[in-house]
Amino acid sequence: MVTAGENGGVKRLAVALASVVALQGAATYTRDVAKILQTRCAGCHHAGEVAPFPLVTYEDARAKAKQIAALVKTRQMPPWQPEPGYVEFAGSRRLSDKELRTLVSWAEGGAARGKGLEPAGPVFPKAEEWRLGRPDLVVDLPEAFEVPAEGADVYRCFVVPTGLAEDKFVRAVEFRPSNRRVVHHALLFTDASLLKRPASYPCFGTIGLFPTEGLGGWSPGNAPIEMPEGAAVPVVRGSRLVAQVHYNPTGKVERERWSVGFYFTEKAPVRRVVDVGLASRVIDIPAGEAYYVVKQQFTIPIAVDAIGVIPHAHLLCREMRAWATLPNGKKQWLLNIKQWDFNWQDQFRYAKPIRLPAETKIEMEFVYDNSAGNPRNPHSPPQRVVAGPGIADEMAGVHVQSIPVDMKELPELGRALWGAVMRSVGGSFYTLPQ
């Protein structure tokens, strides 16, 4: 039962709350929106960066308000593919639900400026600055690469000598484009082989050679690549740097000449990051098939700490799932993407390492849509698509970046992985030494 007095209290509270809401009013740029755009968008959306327009000032934001609302609602922006609630990643670009609601209500409610001064914009590192300070070695692309004004995205591999006269351990690598407007992402590798290689060649999907080491990937707005503590990557003298770079035509001819800064350490690695790779070449997608599933699994013979995951497929793939079943039956998600976009290939680091005991089964399941209803289908009308490295082929791979808990057990993992590769390619790909 509510007495009159209490009732009055409730009313007064309601009035007070209503006036607080009225005081705060609809979201405004100066109070609510500026900080979201500055921390979540401006990293890519500022002059000279990869996004096509800046989102730094009120005028920038107001001019694009409608588009901002449309793209954040569907979560096309900021680009971030993993679904929330499965496994936590470091450096997630995903907006919180609250940030999303604020942006949408602001944009749809008239994009008000609000009172007060415009908050000062963030200070971005200059294009020519190295974020980790002066590198120990800089490898420059010898000549600028010319990106045509129009047409399909360009995937180009470059092989550049490092000039290293002695063996080194790499603790960090920074990729620095000279022209950030055209560079969408880059993957870096080393090649210690003595094979003859072209200085540069078109390469979509795979880099077309077996690298000696993977150094990691770069995409706009991301920090330089730092190796986990104790896991520096050895690079032997005479190695070449292999960079696969994805360029986006901008409407005018662009020239781009990237550099890679290497940071060395004296500390020999005591741990290795091993690529626990699951892949399938059993891909044969009939024309028009809208839900084609590719699966693979691998049981790890030793305990590892999974530190990150790199998925790989081409244009037709829509869903990517990977999970582990621990020996005690518990399911641990490793990746869940429902709207794969080849355009945004990130390398995902877990927020904290995930311990996977020996005899953990890792499974992957990818779903491909080869129907005319898939706007990314490179064929019109749809055609049968099989496994292969080209833009019109498909691939299916999940690379779980793993550190053995006991390094002495590494060879056992190596043997198991090699066996799995041999079985999955059916011996048709490589010939074993006699």
Site residues for ligand HEC per CB under 6 A: 40-41, 43-45, 50-52, 64, 67-68, 71-72, 77-79, 93, 95, 220-221, 343
The rounded distance, in Å, linking the Cα atoms of 369 and 286 is 10
Main-chain phi, psi angles of 270, to 5 degrees: -105, -10
Q: Which of 394, 284, 387, 389 is nearest to 340 (CA)?
A: 394
Q: Which is nearer to ligand HEC, 184 or 281 (CB)?
A: 184
| Least distance between ligand HEC and beta carbon 71 (Å) | 4
DSSP conformation class of 194: -
d(CA 19, CA 22): 5
Residue 24 or 343 with smaller CB distance to ligand HEC: 343
- Our CB check for ligand HEC shows the closer of 64 and 314 to be 64
- DSSP H helices in 319-376: none
Whole-number minimum distance, CB 335 to ligand HEC, in Å? 19
Q: How far is the CB of 256 from ligand HEC (least distance, A)?
A: 15
| CB closer to ligand HEC, 154 vs 273 | 154
Taking the complex as a whole, how short is the minimal distance between the CB of residue 322 and ligand HEC, in angstroms?
A: 23
CA distance 212 to 240: 10
Closest to ligand HEC by CB, 171 vs 318, is 318
Largest CA distance in the chain: 95
Structure tokens at 128: 């020519």
Q: How far is the CB of 144 from ligand HEC (least distance, A)?
A: 21
Q: In this structure, what token pair is assigned to residue 371? A: 């129907």
How many other CB atoms are found less than 10 A from the CB of residue 205? 20
Strands 137-140 and 292-300: unpaired
Angle at 195 between CA 258 and CA 281, to 5 degrees: 85
Report, in Å, the least distance between residue 316 CB and ligand HEC.
18
Q: How far is the CB of 69 from ligand HEC (least distance, A)?
A: 9
Q: How far is the CB of 374 from ligand HEC (least distance, A)?
A: 17
d(CA 412, CA 178): 43
- Classify burial at 14, counting beta carbons within 10 Å of its beta carbon; exposed 0-12, middle 13-18, buried 19 or more: exposed
Intra-chain end-to-end CA distance of the chain, in Å? 90
Nearer to ligand HEC, 162 or 345 (CB): 345
DSSP-derived secondary structure letter, 271: S
Report in angstroms how near the CB of residue 192 gets to ligand HEC at its nearest. 32
Q: Which is nearer to ligand HEC, 149 or 282 (CB)?
A: 149
Helix (H) or strand (E) holding 67: helix 65-73
Which of residues 60 and 393 has its CB atom nearest to ligand HEC in the complex? 60
Quote the least distance from Cβ 232 to ligand HEC, whole Å.
28
Closest to ligand HEC by CB, 71 or 290 = 71
Which one, 51 or 215, has the nearer CB to ligand HEC?
Answer: 51
Contact call for residues 361 and 325 (beta carbons, < 8 A) = yes
Q: Which is nearer to ligand HEC, 217 or 228 (CB)?
A: 217
Of 235, 219, 247, the C-alpha closest to 148 is 247
DSSP 30: I
β-sheet bridge partners, residue 356: 304
> Measured from the CB of residue 100, what is the shortest distance to ligand HEC in angstroms?
8
C-alpha span between 47 and 220 (Å, rounded): 13
CA dihedral 230, 321, 394, 400 (to 10 degrees): 10
Name the residue with tokens 């099989």: 386
